[in-house]
């Protein structure tokens, strides 16, 4: 269960080296916004704070999600931030037409997709990336 989020982070970021984990938590809950669809009512999430010991420019905080139909990186925040606050957490909306990777100020690595504020929404989303009842799972991070 603890290798899954690290595999997802390496795949999404392109980092090949093993990561050093500073903190990892897992929690389970529904989708945001809430839904009655069974396949979206139980989503496992991991919070991971980690870095690449061979490249100290790659250090960050990551949210990984696993649903019944797949798993992926939900959001990234700078390493030296805390809790679940805007504008720290950045999500990336997949864009099949543009797979180019971009660097973002304060975030480790390079990322593909359209960046948006994972805490407040954006890019057409008007809701936060985490349901309100799960935000407390990031207290003390």
Centroid of chain to Cα 115: 12
The predicted pLDDT at position 129 comes to 80
pLDDT at 29: 85
Q: What pLDDT is attached to residue 38?
A: 56
Q: In terms of residues, how long is the chain?
A: 141
- pLDDT tens per residue across span 36-68: 655 556 789 999 999 999 999 999 999 999 988
| 116-128 per-position pLDDT tens digit | 999 988 666 666 7
Residue 137 has phi, psi (to 5 degrees) of: -65, -15
Assess whether the previous peptide bond of 75 is cis (omega < 30° from 0): no
Whose tokens are 């480790």? That residue is 108
Specify the pLDDT at position 59: 96
SS3 label, residue 81 = coil
Could you tell me the residue range of the domain that residue 39 belongs to?
3-138
Domain count, the chain: 1
């Amino acid at each position: 269960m603890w290798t899954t989020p690290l595999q997802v982070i390496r795949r999404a970021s392109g980092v090949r080296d093993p990561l050093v984990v500073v903190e990892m938590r897992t929690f389970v809950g529904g989708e945001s916004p809430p839904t009655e669809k069974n396949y979206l009512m139980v989503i496992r999430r991991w919070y991971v704070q980690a870095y690449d010991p061979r490249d100290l420019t790659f250090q960050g905080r990551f949210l990984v999600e696993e649903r019944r139909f797949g798993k992926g990186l939900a959001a990234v925040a700078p390493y030296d931030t805390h809790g679940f606050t805007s504008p720290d957490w950045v999500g990336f909306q997949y864009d099949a037409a543009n797979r180019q990777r971009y660097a973002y100020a304060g975030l480790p690595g390079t990322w593909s997709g359209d960046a948006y504020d994972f805490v407040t929404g954006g890019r057409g989303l008007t809701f936060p990336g985490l349901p309100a009842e799960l935000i407390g799972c990031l207290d003390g991070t």
